[in-house]
């Protein structure tokens, strides 16, 4: 039975990866990846922050530099497309990703709740420290509250109230609404007088030796954190995930001891497209150590679920304090920038160096004026991000653009900034960065989406949403669409033009051309009744035409079945 499931799963993934190939079949697009089959518990893996950085900055870069095909793909903009998209060029639900807000709009209440399904930690009585974390940019501890729930607790850095805790909560909710798995993160307040240490809890001293944790160590931790006027501390409490932790996942390759993990991670669109969402949120520290795999049991099945965690280095927060002004503009090891500094004897001044160091202690450094969605730099090169194609970027931009001004405001409000001006600034900046993101990526791909075929009294119309027009980036009055019918890759009609209307009527001549092709078939099958409408868009009133999108749809011939969209092809 297990072997059978693996074979079926492999065929599903093969179908996902080949969804854009011809010929198309009369099958509904794959909505579920079905990668939750029961498996034996994989081995937990450790990913060293430094080893991961060295591998991605040097090892992998040097290895790929020697590969001629990689250079050719880069020169010709012919990168390999993601291997887990369905026939509509979308990502099916899986243990990695669940289609949420962009496809199934969430209410304001749902957006503000995010992944949180319980309540804030019960701080009415003693809080027991059961573990400590001293490494990374966000030192903290793991506590058990009065109800026995375990949370990982992180603080704001001293002198910067709400900075990292607000960033953590806000970015978590945007990332969850976009479709990713995240922890439940709650804002709360703790009184240090209620803290106590469980027996057997140890920490490493300055010589790297395990020693019992003491309240002196706890006080050292609190001395680095920002305290309220009454001596309490604002925290973000991350509820322990259900299941058994298996360590981080890598953005490249796959977990070989997980039979469900069949697609190399750098070829997964949700990981490639996450590049766009992370850039919007200024989550410049998107690397393996900020991920976590959990071995979970659900519906009598045991499998691995993949999480994105630790958003304390997003928006204007840099973990230890405000994000540096260079974040998003250059990586942690930018050879080009180093050479430029040397050649100009250090006289070259970057535009970001002319900006103020922070907006405010609670906002940190977060701006939209210099933000470049197409050239955003992460601290460590990310193998999935580096392989992102224009289609991956377009998909990611749709996630970002799914949040309206009102919805952005609603989520930012959950960060509970004390200063209203700080809250308004973050809202304004996110809106401006969102629009920059949409403008950039919607120009890379023909931004027509949500296609449907309507039929009334024998008249057929292809309807769609022009995402650039809907967002206000382009005007319908100056937009035109030209389209023609193709059958099995060959044009069978001339172009027709529709101006200012996001609907394309199929003329009697087009219908006749389609029926002519069908009548030439000796034994016409349903699979033979799939035709395509190739559409190009002009923003100059028809003086020039951009990239195409092809809509493959079932055209009923001689029966009462309804027409339906089968697949999309987008020119990269």
Q: Is 319 left (phi over 0), alpha (psi -120 to 50) or beta?
A: left
Return the H-helix or E-strand segment holding 515. Answer: helix 508-519
Q: What is the pLDDT of residues 161-220, one digit of tens each?
A: 999 999 999 999 999 999 999 999 999 999 999 999 998 888 877 777 888 888 988 888
DSSP annotation of 487 reads: E
Query: Which tokens is 283 given?
Result: 């989550």
Work out the pLDDT band at 24, boundaries 50, 70, 90: confident
Helices and strands counted in the chain (H then E): 15, 20
> What mean pLDDT value characterizes the chain?
88
Work out the pLDDT band at 21, boundaries 50, 70, 90: very low
Query: Which tokens is 134 given?
Result: 């001293």
Mean pLDDT over residues 411-418, rounded? 97
Single pTM value for the model: 0.90
The dihedrals phi and psi of 548, each to the nearest 5 degrees, come to -95, 160
Sheet with 150-155: list strands edge to edge: 185-190, 233-239, 150-155, 140-144, 127-133, 195-197
CATH of 448-570, one of 2.60.40.10, 3.20.20.70, 2.40.10.480, 3.10.20.90: 2.60.40.10
Gap between the Cα atoms of 221 and 192, Å rounded: 11
- Pair 248, 292: CB distance under 8 Å: yes
Q: Measure the CA angle with vertex 403, ends 397 and 408; round to 5°.
A: 130
Q: What is the pLDDT of residues 511-568, one digit of tens each?
A: 999 999 999 988 888 888 999 999 999 998 888 999 999 999 999 887 778 889 999 9
> Quick one: CA dihedral 255, 137, 50, 278, positive or negative?
positive
Distances (CA, A) of 53 to 155, 277, 332, 491: 26, 21, 9, 50
Q: What is the pLDDT of residue 9?
A: 42
Decide if pLDDT at 496 tops 50: yes
> Cis (ω within 30 of 0) for the bond into 23?
yes
Report how far apart the first and last C-alpha atoms of the chain are (Å, whole number).
40
Alpha-helix runs per DSSP H in 357-413: 383-386, 390-401, 405-413
Q: What is the pLDDT of residue 96?
A: 97
Other CB atoms within 10 A of residue 58 CB: 12
Query: Which tokens is 564 given?
Result: 């339906």
The dihedrals phi and psi of 384, each to the nearest 5 degrees, come to -70, -45
- All CATH 2.60.40.10 domain ranges in the chain, comma separated: 448-570
- With tokens 């976009």, the residue in question is 178
Gap between the Cα atoms of 440 and 373, Å rounded: 7
């Amino acid at each position: 039975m297990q072997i059978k499931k693996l074979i079926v799963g492999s065929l599903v993934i093969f179908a996902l990866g080949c969804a854009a190939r011809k010929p198309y079949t009369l099958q509904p697009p794959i909505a579920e990846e079905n990668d939750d089959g029961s498996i034996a518990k994989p081995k937990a893996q450790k990913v060293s922050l430094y080893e991961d950085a060295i591998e991605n900055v040097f090892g992998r870069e040097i290895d790929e530099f020697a590969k001629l095909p990689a250079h050719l793909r880069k020169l010709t903009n012919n990168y390999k497309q993601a291997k887990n998209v369905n026939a509509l060029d979308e990502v099916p639900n899986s243990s990695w990703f669940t289609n949420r807000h962009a496809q199934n709009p969430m209410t304001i209440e749902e957006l503000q709740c995010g992944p949180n399904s319980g309540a804030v930690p019960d701080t009415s009585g003693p809080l027991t420290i059961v573990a400590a974390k001293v490494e990374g940019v966000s030192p903290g501890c793991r506590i058990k509250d009065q109800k026995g729930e375990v949370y990982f607790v992180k603080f704001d850095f001293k002198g910067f109230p709400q900075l990292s805790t607000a960033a953590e909560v806000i970015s978590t909710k945007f990332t969850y609404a976009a479709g990713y798995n995240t922890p439940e993160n709650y804002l709360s307040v703790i009184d240090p007088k209620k803290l106590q240490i469980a027996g057997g809890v140890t920490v490493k001293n300055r010589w790297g030796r395990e020693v019992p944790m003491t309240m002196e160590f706890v006080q050292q931790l609190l001395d680095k954190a920002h305290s309220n006027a009454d001596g309490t501390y604002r925290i973000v409490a991350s509820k322990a995930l259900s299941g058994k932790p298996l360590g981080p996942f890598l953005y490249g390759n796959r977990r070989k001891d997980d039979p469900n993990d069949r697609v190399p991670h750098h070829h997964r669109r949700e990981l490639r497209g996450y590049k766009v969402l992370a850039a919007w949120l200024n989550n410049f520290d998107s690397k393996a150590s900020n991920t976590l795999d959990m071995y979970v049991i659900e519906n009598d099945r045991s499998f691995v679920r993949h999480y994105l965690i630790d958003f304390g280095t997003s928006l204007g927060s840099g973990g230890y304090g405000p994000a540096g002004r260079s974040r998003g503009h250059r990586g942690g090891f930018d050879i080009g920038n180093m050479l430029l500094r040397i050649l100009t004897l250090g006289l070259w001044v970057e535009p970001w160096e002319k900006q103020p160091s922070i907006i405010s202690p609670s906002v940190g450094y977060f701006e939209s004026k210099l933000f470049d969605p197409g050239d955003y730099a992460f601290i460590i090169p990310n193998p999935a991000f580096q392989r992102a194609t224009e289609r991956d970027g377009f998909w990611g931009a749709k996630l970002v653009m799914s949040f309206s001004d009102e919805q952005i405001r609603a989520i930012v409000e959950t960060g509970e900034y004390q200063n209203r001006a700080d809250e308004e600034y973050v809202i304004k900046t996110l809106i401006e960065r969102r629009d920059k993101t949409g403008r950039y990526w919607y120009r890379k791909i023909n931004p027509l989406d949500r296609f449907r075929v309507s039929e009334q009294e024998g008249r057929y119309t292809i309807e769609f949403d022009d995402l650039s027009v809907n967002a206000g980036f382009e005007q319908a009055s100056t937009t035109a669409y030209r389209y023609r019918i193709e059958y099995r890759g060959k044009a069978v009609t001339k172009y027709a033009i529709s101006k200012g209307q996001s609907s394309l009527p199929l003329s009697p001549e087009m219908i006749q051309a389609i029926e002519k092709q069908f009548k030439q078939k000796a034994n016409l099958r349903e699979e033979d009744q799939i035709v395509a409408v190739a559409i190009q868009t002009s923003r100059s009133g028809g003086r020039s035409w951009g990239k195409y999108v092809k809509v493959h749809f079932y055209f009923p011939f001689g029966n009462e079945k309804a027409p339906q969209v089968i697949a999309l092809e987008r020119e990269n």
